[in-house]
Amino acid sequence: FVMAAESAQDNLEVLRESGAALRSFPTRCHIAARMHIRALDLDPKDNCSRRELACSLNDLGTFLKANGPGCVTEDCARACLEAVDSCLGGTKAATDAGAIRLDSSGGLKRDSIGVGKPAAGDSSPLYERVYHAALATSDSYAPVWYNLGVLAGERLEHQRAESCYRRCLELDPRHAECLCNLGALLRRNGDAE
């Protein structure tokens, strides 16, 4: 897949399909994300490539979270930073996600990002920034909302978790894990909705 995509850097369909196929190998999600970013560079209005990129970034964030700092090669870290910059660079979403901060002169500064630990002065690890990049790419991709809900729940940010779960269910009413998590959260908070 990688060789096919490298030989067809200007072929939107090859990049999109090769990236989708590579996503089935968790250790290659970062390469899939790069392919989908390249596809969007070729046609920024292509909704299929946009959704594929959101899916690849969501899978990449899940891989990073599940495997911790030891799973990240230099190439994977570089791909994550490129994805965060590409999807969030210079936007309000970037500063909200902690991917980019304004320095003292008002210029943009990309933080050095650790995988399972926050960058200095920031509280969001790389996998969360990758989730935010996926959300900025396509805010209608339900699994990203679910994963952000899980993160909020882990931090005991119950209102935020509920909000993320509800958005996920608006987009995909049959998302079973989300239904279970929202039900457990509401029960825990004494809300018998």
Identify the burial level of 186 via C-beta atoms within 10 angstroms of its C-beta, where 0-12 means exposed, 13-18 middle and 19 or more buried: middle
Ranges of beta strands (E only) in 128-181 are none
* pLDDT, position 118: 39
In terms of phi and psi (left: phi > 0; alpha: psi -120 to 50; beta: otherwise), the region of 117 is beta
Domain ranges for the chain, please list them. Answer: 2-139, 140-193
CATH number, domain 140-193: 1.25.40.10
Sites in the chain below the pLDDT cut of 50: 90-122
Instruction: Please give the structure tokens belonging to residue 171.
Output: 């987009």
* pLDDT, position 3: 62
The span from the CA of 190 to the CA of 193, in Å, is 9
* pLDDT, position 172: 96
Q: Kindly report, residue by residue over 131-160, the tens digit of the pLDDT.
A: 988 888 888 999 999 999 999 999 999 999
Q: Kindly report, residue by residue over 8-33, the tens digit of the pLDDT.
A: 667 888 888 888 898 888 888 888 88
In terms of phi and psi (left: phi > 0; alpha: psi -120 to 50; beta: otherwise), the region of 11 is beta
Buried b or exposed e, range 36-58, using 16+ CB within 10 angstroms: bbbbbeeeeebeebbbbbbbbbb
Ranges of beta strands (E only) in the chain are 100-102, 108-110
Confidence (pTM): 0.75
